[in-house]
Amino acid sequence: MEASVFLVAVMLALAEAQVDLLPASYLKHVRPKTPDGSPLRVGVSWHVSRIHQVDVDAMTVQLSVRPGVAWVDPRLNYTGEDHRDDHAHLLPLTLEFLEHAWKPDLFFLDMRDVRKFEMIDEVAGLWLLRNLTLYLSFLAMVTVDCPMRFHAYPFDVQNCSLAMTSYEYNREEVSLFWLPEGVSSSHQLTDQLPGYDLRLLPAVVTTHSWCQDCFLEPASALQSGFILSRRFSAHLLNAYVPSGLFVVVAWASFFWPPEVVPGRTVLVVTSLLTVVSMYTGVRATSPHTDYLKAIDIWFFMCILFNVLVLLQFGTVITLRRCQEKAKSAVVAPAPKGGAPHRLTPDLTQVKKLQRWEYHFELASKVLFPVAFVVFNLVYWGRFLSHREWH
């Protein structure tokens, strides 16, 4: 009981001491003035500790961020006497102090939602430096918009921007700069993000304009971001390799005799239906777009190659039927008063059709694989180079 009373007394004394930091004439809605009249410099840093979700349908990224904000308030009544022992560098203050003091109105641009973490209390801290610098740090879960383009899916690379600016103060009033720690991330961040490789973008200082020729003046801003590169090994094993193999399997019909009509037909049709079925499953798990993606082009070509094999076999059957027709004996109509007689087969036409069939089958055995290899060279060269360029 005595310990609890003592703790309450200490907390009340600390709160009173913090209020004493603010002079009677202090106005929390007025930003601190600098001696030379220049914009107030506000330092910012943030540490990305985890990326929880990448929503391709909503085009948002949800991540845990620990921002740090520092600014100098020369109006504080403090001479540095409490900076000693364990608090020689940073003197902790309670968060209630901010209810009475000025603080920068910073926020993340393109922010859809933000939630601060709480456990026993809010996960945040406020410290005072000897030179009257206030340093605020807190942990928040931020959901930001990230415009995504899926033309190269599943080889797509998404560039997501993360920028911070002031809502009320323009660049002539508040100037943002990066603290020494700048932008950082957890070493295990990539391992915690299945399906993507992560790379942070350099931190830059920029200006944010609300609109062209609008009433609000441009504000100082800080910008960084991250690049999400999709890992495509799973797509390679689950979609690309099987569908490509079924295209190759369909070519086995070129080496079967044309007389085996049921066997060749079943092989080609089965390969075609399997690729179509695989494409249906892939579309169900792919981002929904109104334009063609890289994986759509792949499956379209695989289906096209299987259809062409089916048409090739149909052409061979047609040539065979023409040969049988030319080989069969033809009964000529009988002249008046005479008896009908049989014509001999057109052997010249039969040999011609046999040559056409032979060369057509031989050309198919060569042209189909060559065309598929050329398509693969163009396809993989195009999209992998696009990935490396990003």
Same-domain pairing of 169 and 291: no
**Which of the listed residues 231, 252, 287 is the one where a domain comes to its end?**
231
pLDDT tens profile 318-369: 777 776 666 664 545 555 555 555 555 556 766 776 677 777 778 888 999 9
> Which parts of the chain sit beneath pLDDT 70?
1-19, 80-88, 323-347, 349-350, 353-354, 388-390
Determine the Cα–Cα distance for residues 219 and 225; give it in Å rounded to an integer.
19
Q: Which of 231, 262, 289 is the last residue of a domain?
A: 231
pLDDT in tens, 4-30: 443 344 444 444 446 578 898 899 999
- Based on the fold, state whether residues 214 and 241 are members of the same structural domain: no
What's the structural domain count of the chain? Answer: 2
Q: What is the CATH number of the domain that holds 50?
A: 2.70.170.10
Domain shared by 77 and 102, yes or no: yes
Cβ–Cβ contacts within 10 Å for residue 25, how many? 6
Q: CA-to-CA distance for 42 and 177, rounded, in angstroms?
A: 6
Residue 212 falls inside a structural domain: yes
* Distance, CA of 320 to CA of 260 (rounded, Å): 12
What residues make up the domain containing 275? 234-326+346-389
CATH number at residue 247: 1.20.58.390
* Position 170 in a domain: yes
Quote the pTM value.
0.78
9 within domain boundaries:
no
Domain boundary among 175, 200, 231: 231
- DSSP H stretches of helix in 207-287: 233-235, 241-250, 261-285
> Is residue 130 located within the same domain as residue 187?
yes
Cis peptide before 154 (omega within 30 of 0): yes
Considering the domain architecture, whether residues 210 and 281 belong to the same structural domain is answered as no
Q: Is residue 311 part of a domain?
A: yes
DSSP-based three-state secondary structure for 124: strand
